[in-house]
Structure 1
Amino acid sequence: MTNPHSHSAHSITSEKFISWLGRFASVIAILMYISYIAQIINNLHGQYGSPVQPFVAGINCTLWSIYAYFKEDRDWPVFWANFPGIFFSFATCLTSFAW
């Protein structure tokens, strides 16, 4: 005979883990986009990087942010993981050109 509470306890533990994982992944994603600051500084000092990767990342972040925000049940970890990337990615892309 199985314990009727074991399944729900496992579900709660799984939900807590998934919630924690979403928050942790969001923090890591934000750190990934903040790391563009070093390339922005290099770009501003004449050591230009390629604009392709940050441009594509900016499009990706924009699409994921729109998706997460306009879902019926907003997906805040996905939104906050990608929203800062919009600004950092496009800033990196724009500064990679010699003006």
Structure 2
Amino acid sequence: MTNQRFITILGYVATFTAICMYVSYLQQIDLNLSGQKGGPLQPLATTINCTLWVIYGLFKEKRDWPIAIANFPGVILGAITFITAL
């Protein structure tokens, strides 16, 4: 396997696992809405971090789509989790 092929596969796997990580916020959102509030600090940090990575991925001279795509769910779901935790 060539180094470039390995990096390409690694990018797809990392994108998939990042999206899975952010989708796990759905359970916390459900708990927050049910009255079992979680802390707001971690989802706020996630929202800020993912926003920065999405901007980085989209505004590079050669766009880095895997980084932008992998972090976009974190922006949305982190923000929703933060808001529902308040």
Give the TM-score of the pair, scaled to structure 2.
0.97
Instruction: Give the distance between the partners of 1:23 and 1:75, measured in 2 at CA.
Output: 12
Which runs of 5 or more residues in structure 1 are unaligned?
1-9
Give the TM-score of the pair, scaled to structure 1.
0.85
Runs ≥4 residues deviating over 6 A:
none
The yes-or-no answer on 1:14 pairing with 2:3 is yes
Report which of the two structures shows the higher radius of gyration computed on alpha carbons: 1
Q: State the Cα RMSD in Å.
A: 0.8
Superposed CA deviations along residues 39-76 of structure 1, whole A, max 9, x for unmatched, are 00000000000000000000000000001100000001
| Aligned residue number for residue 49 of structure 1 | 38
The DSSP-based 3-state class of the residue aligned with 1:46 is: coil
Count of aligned positions: 86
Percent identity over paired residues:
51
The DSSP-based 3-state class of the residue aligned with 2:42 is: helix
